[in-house]
Amino acid sequence: RAAELDAHLTEAAGRKKKGRSRTMTPKKTALVAGGAGFIGSHICERLIADGYHVLCFDNFQTGREENVRHLRRESRFDLIEGDVIDPLPGALARSTKSLAIVFDLACAASPPHYQADPEHTMLTNVVGASQLLRLAERAGARFLLSSTSEVYGDPEMHPQPESYRGWVNCTGPRACYDEGKRAAETLAFDFDRLGRAEVRVARIFNTYGPRMRPDDGRVVSNLICQALSGDDITIYGDGSQTRSFCYVDDLVDGLIRLSRYEGAQPGPVNLGNPIELTVSDLAERVIALTGTDAELVYRPLPVDDPRRRRPDIGKAKRLLGWRPEVGLQKGLEQTTAWFARAIERPRRKAAM
């Protein structure tokens, strides 16, 4: 399978070269594993704008070709289908000469998606990180891990600073993700400590925005899509649990700043928007924004669902000069407008 992918990529690269009017010699290449996903596609876009040649590597488990379709016109963009737990395609292995940075964003982030095949989720986090770290090591490239606020589990400390070691249930249904990310962090910091690769680790808190899947299953996309379609709005538990939601543009800016941070190993860095609200408050905001007359329905709270979550972003402010700029109202408006178009498009097609 790896050989097939390799042949495909070599052929695609040849086709691109022939069709190109002006050739560009890329000075720097970035690999984005999980690049066809929600956050990954925004990172690919930003890296292309910054002059990188981007290798977007994805198994399309939750990612979609349409997230990066607009980038496929670019000579500095290659989309490679494959799974980070399989042997990496030769085209990636051969990229080491120019590879400057590896972004490891590969892993479904929504609980229903990552719990659908927990073994694959665990392997994606651990085997995937190991393979990508080894690639970064061979290339002398930097490695950025997209870790998560889930490493804090159901936190006893609030807000959560990076020094908090978390309260995670290693036997529960979220563990394939939480513990997978914790193990990936362990691997990353061991590579860094041993001088095998320079790593940066971002602990990302709940992020939302355009290019989430309507069937993603996370709360922002669920509530907006339900409101736009007039379906019941699902609140899990009594809605008093809290989250802090960061708009994707802010997150991408934070990730890029962290990837370029030149000081001594900074350790993990929280990236998120510290404005905290309950799920019920979020539902009210969405209802007010969309003017829906959809009903609220209450469903059981998922097992091990964290009660509250808010990042302490003091470290990101200090080291990266970063803070989120997009308020919840503006972010929700932009996301709702995007979903309205995304939901409408297939309906229009079906009506034609």
Binding site residues, ligand NAD, CB under 6 A: 33-34, 36-40, 58-63, 83-85, 105-109, 124, 128, 146, 148, 204, 206-207
- Residue with Cβ nearer ligand UDP (95 or 149): 149
Spacing of C-alpha 105 from chain mean position: 5
State yes or no: residue 130 binds ligand UDP (CB under 6 A): no
Q: Which of 152, 177, 208, 261 is catalytic?
A: 177
Q: Which stretch binds ligand UDP (CB under 6 A): 121-129, 181-189, 216-224, 334-342?
A: 216-224
State yes or no: residue 302 binds ligand UDP (CB under 6 A): yes
164 classed as catalytic: no
- Residue with Cβ nearer ligand NAD (109 or 188): 109
Q: Are 139 and 182 a contacting pair, CB within 8 Å?
A: no
In whole angstroms, how far apart are CA 249 and each of 26, 32, 208, 245, 319? 25, 17, 9, 12, 19
Q: Nearest Cα to 24, choosing from 13, 12, 37? A: 13
Calpha distance 111→87 (Å, rounded): 26
Q: Nearest Cα to 88, choosing from 137, 42, 39? A: 137
Give 84-134 as a DSSP string.
TTSPPPHHHHGGGGTEEEEEE--S--SHHHHHHSHHHHHHHHHHHHHHHHH
Amino acid identity for residue 302 in this structure: P
State yes or no: residue 228 binds ligand UDP (CB under 6 A): no
Rounded to a whole number of angstroms, the minimum distance from the CB of residue 223 to ligand UDP is 6
DSSP H helices in the chain: 2-19, 38-49, 90-93, 111-116, 118-139, 175-193, 219-229, 248-259, 279-290, 314-320, 328-351
Question: Residue 85 binds what, of ligand NAD, ligand UDP, none (CB under 5 to 8 Å, by partner type)?
Answer: ligand NAD
- Residue with Cβ nearer ligand NAD (76 or 113): 113
Amino acid identity for residue 141 in this structure: A
Rounded to a whole number of angstroms, the minimum distance from the CB of residue 217 to ligand NAD is 10
For the record, the structure tokens of 10 come out as 């070599």
Rounded to a whole number of angstroms, the minimum distance from the CB of residue 252 to ligand UDP is 19
- Residue with Cβ nearer ligand UDP (229 or 234): 234
State yes or no: residue 218 binds ligand UDP (CB under 6 A): yes
- Residue with Cβ nearer ligand NAD (59 or 335): 59
Q: Which stretch binds ligand UDP (CB under 6 A): 15-23, 161-169, 235-243, 327-335?
A: 235-243
Any idea which residues carry the catalytic annotation?
Answer: 177
Q: For binding to ligand UDP (CB under 6 A), which residues are involved?
A: 110-111, 206, 218-219, 222, 234-236, 241, 243, 279, 301-302, 305
